[in-house]
Amino acid sequence: GAVVSQHPSRVICKSGTSVKIECRSLDFQATTMFWYRQFPKQSLMLMATSNEGSKATYEQGVEKDKFLINHASLTLSTLTVTSAHPEDSSFYICSARDGNRGTYEQYFGPGTRLTVT
């Protein structure tokens, strides 16, 4: 149980285009989802926290107009990288918290490798 999927696993896009990454909780209701960014050989950096049906809370330094997060349902959150540039190339990982378990554990997706050319 507690499986989180991400789609796509890899994406290559041209500079200036937008890319959408989906994060789904497959067997539980994710009241809270988190989006992280990870640079090579570095730790995870929290970008934003989203609760179902409300606006995401972005961490300091994360451009909310560039990284659009939507958490429209209890099983789906999306991250859209708008007007992508090469410096946005990174590994993006989502996680989800099961609102019915009453614990603070997060379940992580497998990640999405974004390459902007």
Nearer to other proteins, 34 or 67 (CB): 34
φ/ψ of 95, rounded to 5, equals: -140, 160
Nearer to other proteins, 62 or 91 (CB): 91
Query: Smallest gap, in angstroms, from Cβ of residue 81 to other proteins?
Result: 18
Q: Apex CA 66: angle with CA 64 and CA 71, to 5°?
A: 60
Nearer to other proteins, 17 or 57 (CB): 57
- Cα separation, 56 vs 42, whole angstroms: 24
Residues in a beta bridge with 106: 97
The site for other proteins (CB under 8 A) is made up of: 4, 6, 32, 34, 41-44, 46, 49, 57, 91, 93, 95, 97, 103-111, 113
Q: How many residues are present in the chain? A: 117
Query: Smallest gap, in angstroms, from Cβ of residue 44 to other proteins?
Result: 5
